[in-house]
């Protein structure tokens, strides 16, 4: 009974968030608001609506490192497809996706088998891409002193991080992602994952990550994934990375 109520309380927060872009990084606050505004009614479950977070910059903002056409298709078609699939699933399986995204992803095993792979791929894809848009931006930012010190401590410096990260990303066979995860005490680690899997699926938090599906780079780089990986560091928004690092340590980083 107690767990049932916990689940109901969680429902309200996910619905209110709708997982819009505005919720990124702000979930702690929105969550608290939702819990006080939305009483847990037994028979009032609005359908979960997933929305595509707007790109926080123009399609051509990352040129020449990532071209405008790639960004337009990647955001407007690939990410949108995850959103469409999730909305179809949310209508077909009422209630199952009505929880904060990070809570669903860390407990995929509890979902019915019919929904599990769908959630793994599409909710994973939604989380990964929402993070990816956020941590990129106009070229030119630099790691601040706090992040620089952490990178020095955990990797021996930025160049070593970049080399290790790019090596992990280059080794992804087929489609997948490379991530830098951040623990609650601020320790960084590199992880590669296949498909749309995410460290969120192990309850971890992602500081930043790079998409190494071919759709992320093929128009410009074709088979030259290493060139994309190298160039991608130019568009990593270090200001955003710092913000996410602080949120991770404060326990407010969501996805």
Binding site for Mn ion (CB under 5 A): 211, 213
Q: How far is the CB of 115 from Mn ion (least distance, A)?
A: 22
Nearer to Mn ion, 143 or 176 (CB): 176
Nearer to Mn ion, 10 or 123 (CB): 123
Q: 52: closest CA among 35, 28, 30, 74?
A: 74
Structure tokens at 192: 């590669």
Q: How far is the CB of 79 from Mn ion (least distance, A)?
A: 7
Q: How far is the CB of 191 from Mn ion (least distance, A)?
A: 17
Q: How far is the CB of 213 from Mn ion (least distance, A)?
A: 5
Assign 58 to helix, strand or coil: coil
CB 182 within 8 A of CB 188: yes
Q: Where are the beta strands (DSSP E) in the chain?
A: 176-182, 188-194, 205-211
C-alpha angle with apex 81: 55 to 240, nearest 5 degrees? 30
Q: How far is the CB of 105 from Mn ion (least distance, A)?
A: 17
C-alpha angle with apex 254: 8 to 26, nearest 5 degrees? 90
Nearer to Mn ion, 31 or 211 (CB): 211
Q: In whole angstroms, give the CA distance from residue 200 to residue 124.
A: 8
Nearer to Mn ion, 128 or 237 (CB): 128
**Positive or negative: CA dihedral 44, 81, 110, 114:** positive
Nearer to Mn ion, 213 or 232 (CB): 213
Q: How far is the CB of 238 from Mn ion (least distance, A)?
A: 22
Q: Give the position of tokens 């568009």.
A: 235
Structure tokens at 111: 């979902």
Residue with nearest beta carbon to Mn ion: 211
- How many other C-beta atoms lie within 10 A of the C-beta of residue 24? 19
Q: Give backbone dihedrals phi and psi of 211, rounded to 5 degrees, phi first.
A: -85, 120
Q: How far is the CB of 132 from Mn ion (least distance, A)?
A: 7
Q: Is the peptide bond before 242 cis (omega within 30 degrees of 0)?
A: no
Nearer to Mn ion, 76 or 94 (CB): 76
Nearer to Mn ion, 74 or 99 (CB): 74
């Amino acid at each position: 009974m107690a767990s049932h109520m916990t689940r109901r309380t969680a429902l309200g927060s996910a619905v209110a968030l709708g997982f819009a872009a505005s919720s990124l990084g702000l979930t702690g606050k929105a969550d608290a608001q939702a819990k006080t505004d939305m009483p847990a009614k037994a028979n009032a479950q609005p359908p979960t609506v997933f929305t595509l977070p707007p790109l926080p910059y123009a399609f051509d903002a990352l040129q020449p490192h990532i071209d405008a056409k790639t960004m337009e298709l990647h955001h407007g078609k690939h990410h949108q497809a995850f959103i469409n699939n999730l909305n179809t699933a949310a209508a077909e399986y009422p209630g199952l996706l009505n929880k904060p995204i990070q809570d669903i992803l860390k407990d995929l095993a509890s979902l019915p088998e019919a929904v599990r792979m769908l959630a793994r791929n599409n909710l994973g894809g939604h989380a990964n891409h929402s993070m990816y848009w956020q941590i990129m931006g106009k070229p030119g930012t630099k790691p601040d002193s706090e992040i620089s010190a952490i990178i020095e401590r955990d990797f021996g410096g930025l160049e070593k991080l970049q080399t290790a990260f790019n090596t992990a990303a280059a080794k992804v066979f087929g489609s997948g992602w490379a991530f830098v995860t951040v623990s609650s005490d601020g320790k960084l680690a590199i992880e590669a994952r296949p498909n749309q899997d995410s460290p969120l699926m192990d309850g971890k938090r992602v500081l930043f990550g790079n998409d190494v599906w071919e759709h992320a780079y093929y128009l410009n780089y074709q088979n030259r994934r290493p060139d994309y990986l190298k160039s991608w560091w130019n568009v990593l928004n270090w200001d955003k990375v710092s913000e996410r690092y602080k949120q991770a340590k404060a326990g407010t980083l969501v996805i």
